[in-house]
Structure 1
Amino acid sequence: MGIQGNNKKGKKGNLIKKLKDFLTSLKLTIFLMIILALTSIAGTIIPQNALPDQYLRYYSLTTYQTLKALGFLDVYHSWWFILLLSFLCLNLLVCSLKSFPRIWKIITQPNPILNEEQIKALPYLITIKKDFSLDEIKERIIEILKKHFGPPRETFLNGTFHLFAEKSRFSRLGVFITHASVIIILAGGLIGSIFGFEGNVNIVEGQSIDRILIPGSHLVKELGFEVRCDEFEVTYYPNGIPKEYQSTLTILEDGKKVLTKTIEVNHPLKYKGYVFYQSSYGTAPDQGGELILEVKKRGSKDPGRQFKVEVGNSFLLPEAGLLVKVNRFFTDFVMDEKGKAANRSLELKNPAAELLILKDGKIHNRIWVFQRYPHFHGSKELDYQFFIQGFKGKEYTGLQVTKDPGVWLVWTGCI
């Protein structure tokens, strides 16, 4: 029984030693840092926390689902990224705890006398043979040590003089200070990954919001205050490419204005730990807008007539006795899985309008008009053709909203 008990203790001791050696391994440190670097690169290349339709523009459905399942669409909040950070923190902490007592003893209890083995182990060792007296050599060495290190400590033992001098004793703690800084930074990153979040919100010009949507989930985050978009502006290059876009935002608390700031890309608004970044913009079709339609008589060479009408409103063709209602408008028309009309995106990529043709108060025809396919008409019975010439919808500003409670810890570690 005694032998069996000793074997169990021995196995347990070996297991603890192996675990300790594993956690203090330099190879583990290098491996973790390489993996973290690679995953961070992936998190930079792959857009994070975007909407599904944005991913499906660049990836196939299978690729999108695979990236989502592996956590590459939200790398910095994935369980495996948090686990990697935790392991690196633990690795640095255990290494520091293992080495610190020995280094602290060297600092606080220096040994002025070295034995033969310690002398041979020194990295810089020179033996000089000169015909000088012992006192003369001693004085010269003391003079050199004073110049470069300070007054040495003298010890005479067994007929041998020992001179000990040192400089920057506490510099040995530099590695522990570095480790502590890295651990603090990693701890801040862990806090941000676990308790922080990123969300998106679109605000139509003149409107306000008090909550945001967390991408990749159905979670809605209450802000506790309102954010209003007072003005949104886009400037363009001569070739029509957007040059810059900016939003004027106002923070409201209990209906009272607290803060107003104009933000643009890389110049966010910060309030109560939340950071609002300018990320996108577009036209909100569900907020209405003005559709410009050209109407021509089928087969006629005469120029058509233009009508400007709000979505949901109607205009009259008096010569035909027809009332035309713009029933619905889609900025990027597509048929969904159920065969119903839907918006693929909020960009004007495939504008389409559903028109109701009424006669004597009753629906006479229902047709679709596509700006990209102007000669497509759902009904050949009409004597008129309709063409979309433009759409002026209400613009929205797209904001990325983040909150990272660990960021102050990261900055502390950087100090």
Structure 2
Amino acid sequence: PPPPKALNSGTEEPAPSSGLLDLSEPSAQRRVQLPAAARPSTPTPRYVWRVALRALSNLRLAIAELAVIAGLSACGTLVDQGQSPAYYVEHYPLGQVWLPWPIILPLQLDHIYSAPYFLGLLGLLGASLTACTTTTQWPQARVAQRWRFKPGVEALRALPAVTEMEGHSVRSVGQLLRDRGYQVFVEGARQAGAAGGAPTASGPPSSEPRALYAFKGLAGKLGPIGVHASMLAVLAGVSLGAVGRWEGVVMMPEGAASPVRELLHPASPFAWEAAAHAADLKFDAFQIDYRDDGSIRQFVTSITVLEEGVPVARQTVSVNQPLRYKGLTAYQTDWALAAVRVSALPLSDAALGPQTGTALSRTPPDEAGVSEGQGKPVPNTPRQPVQLSLPMAQLAGESPESKLFGTFLPLSTLGLPAEDGALGSNPRGISLLARDLQTVVLYDGKGAFVGVRRPGSNLPITVEGVELRIGAITPSSGMQLKIDPGVPLVYAGFLGLCITVVVSYLSHSQLWGVATEDGSVLLGGRTNRALQAFADEVVALGGKQEEEDPEVAAGEQDRSSSWY
């Protein structure tokens, strides 16, 4: 016996369901709303979860989160990141800039991208995107994949775009739609025993198909889901980089080598070491490329990557061509002059030994550097020049064209007396200045200009009774090193975002057709974008004359429903 019918509170008994959703109803209307009496007096975890999802999926909340994140990111672009507190006190004084250091430091704008509240905002935006995807976008996409035929003429006339195609059959209309890129389903007559009005998949038809359903642009419904997924990938990459990043800024002289591990520091306690931490970097050579007018065009560094002392990679790094090796990225950011080699030969008798009357010479210089020329005086009958490597310091300038480096050669280093005749007091000496690797300018103890020499020219010049020959200048290369595990996710997310944003603009159009009693076909539909263009397309279809496809006509004999 059939099961007892459930009471329906005085309403009519619902029609048997075919298992397919009615696409004419908006998804918002299909949500089940609990009456006030059915809501739990004590909120259950399930109820709280649904309320939270509804709140997080609010569009205005997501836009506000995105605006705040964009504003904080703009502050991070305008404010130098990762500097010492003294740097901000000096460069962002109170009352002289729009964002002074008393605001920068408490709000952590000096490291905004790793600040806890910034990461919290990223997490909140990710939660909003996830909630919107799961509660709105994904259900709409699933509904768009389903199909059912409209029950009659009145349901079609309620659609936004309607036209009547006289002299057409349902199957010929389906052929026209297929030629326009639609996927078409036609419904044949029901066989005996077919239930629920669903189209049958086999068996001979008893009449011409009476209804059709067609759609195109389903990717336009999936596009917003892809946009959300791409944004989540970007947020995940930024967050991963904030907690797992390693970075460092170094100034290495030419020919120096150092382990990568000693050049980097972690951005947080949660950062983990990468494969590149086991490598060493050797700065082989530094070179400056000049223009015809003498200005700097480019500066490059030749770097060798070593693993256990064995070279595994070599690359010339410039400003726009960083070194990439196993997650490590080395950017060329700066340069400096580390030292200058000079050959000094005293010409006066003041440099002679007090007892022997022989010129003072020096022990062989130490190749490591700073203490060169500081050996004990030893008698040496022929006069020998003293080989010195003088460290240079940056005196002025931040841009490559305004940099100025200098060093000082005390005469006491050469055994010459000071101004008052006492060794080691009131130091007097020679000043050497250089702006690049091309020229060195020399000044005497009173600051008077003496001359200019090209490094490595080996041409002598006499200053303060000392014959000097300028050797090579040792440059230093400024590198910014970074290991960021979130970069691949960020790149993939932005690539996906570029693609899915375009896909999202594809219109998802749906059409339904029903054969009328007078032999025509009533066609109606709706779309989510370009409403006027879609309406014009439907009206244009109404003016088409029937063009029967021979293949379709031949196939009518053995199909009661078909999917083009």
Q: TM-score, normalised by structure 2?
A: 0.52
Decide whether aligned partners of structure 1 residues 114 and 408 sit closer, same or farther in structure 2, where only a CA change above 3 A counts.
Answer: farther
Specify which structure has the bigger relative contact order, considering alpha-carbon pairs within 8 angstroms and separated by 6 or more residues: 2
Q: CA deviation at 1:152?
A: 3.8
Counterpart secondary structure, 1:94: helix
Aligned to 2:321: 267
Is 1:398 the counterpart of 2:460? The answer is: no
Bigger drift between 253-262 and 79-88 goes to 79-88
C-alpha separation in 2, matches of 1:51 and 1:115: 75
Listed as ranges, the matches of 1:3-82 within 5 Å are: 7-9=41-43, 16=49, 18-49=51-82, 58-60=91-93, 63-64=100-101, 66-82=103-119
C-alpha separation in 2, matches of 1:272 and 1:249: 15
RMSD: 5.1
Decide whether aligned partners of structure 1 residues 333 and 247 sit closer, same or farther in structure 2, where only a CA change above 3 A counts.
Answer: closer
Counterpart secondary structure, 1:74: helix
Alignment match of 2:161 (pick from 116, 121, 125):
125
Alignment match of 1:367 (pick from 427, 452, 473):
427
Q: CA deviation at 1:404?
A: 1.5
Is 1:86 the counterpart of 2:123? The answer is: yes
Decide whether aligned partners of structure 1 residues 47 and 206 sit closer, same or farther in structure 2, where only a CA change above 3 A counts.
Answer: same
Higher strand share: 1
Identity %, equivalent residues: 23
C-alpha separation in 1, matches of 2:77 and 2:299: 23
Listed as ranges, the matches of 1:349-368 within 5 Å are: 349=404, 351=406, 353=408, 355=410, 357=412, 363-367=423-427
Aligned to 2:148: 111
Listed as ranges, the matches of 1:370-385 within 5 Å are: none
Deviations 1:356-396 (A, max 9, x none): 7466997441337777997779xxxxxx899x999975211
Q: CA deviation at 1:68?
A: 4.5
Aligned to 1:303: none
Listed as ranges, the matches of 1:139-178 within 5 Å are: 141=173, 144-148=176-180, 149-154=182-187, 162-169=211-218, 171-178=220-227
Alignment match of 1:250 (pick from 299, 304, 311):
304
Q: CA deviation at 1:181?
A: 2.2
Aligned to 1:331: 393
Aligned to 1:225: 279
Decide whether aligned partners of structure 1 residues 63 and 391 sit closer, same or farther in structure 2, where only a CA change above 3 A counts.
Answer: farther
Decide whether aligned partners of structure 1 residues 178 and 121 sit closer, same or farther in structure 2, where only a CA change above 3 A counts.
Answer: farther
C-alpha separation in 1, matches of 2:313 and 2:151: 68
Structure 2 spans left out of the alignment, 5+ residues: 1-36, 190-196, 198-209, 349-364, 378-385, 434-442, 448-463, 497-564
Aligned to 2:526: none
Read off the aligned partner of 1:403 and give its amino acid letter: I
Asked whether the equivalents of residues 112 and 155 of structure 1 are also in contact (C-alpha less than 8 Å), the reply is no
Q: Report the count of equivalent residues.
A: 366
Counterpart secondary structure, 2:242: helix
Q: CA deviation at 1:63?
A: 3.6
Counterpart secondary structure, 1:395: strand
C-alpha separation in 2, matches of 1:196 and 1:412: 18
Asked whether the equivalents of residues 245 and 483 of structure 2 are also in contact (C-alpha less than 8 Å), the reply is yes
Structure 1 spans left out of the alignment, 5+ residues: 297-308, 317-323, 335-343, 378-383
Decide whether aligned partners of structure 1 residues 195 and 141 sit closer, same or farther in structure 2, where only a CA change above 3 A counts.
Answer: same
Q: CA deviation at 1:187?
A: 1.5
Decide whether aligned partners of structure 1 residues 18 and 293 sit closer, same or farther in structure 2, where only a CA change above 3 A counts.
Answer: farther
Counterpart secondary structure, 1:173: helix
Aligned to 1:407: 487
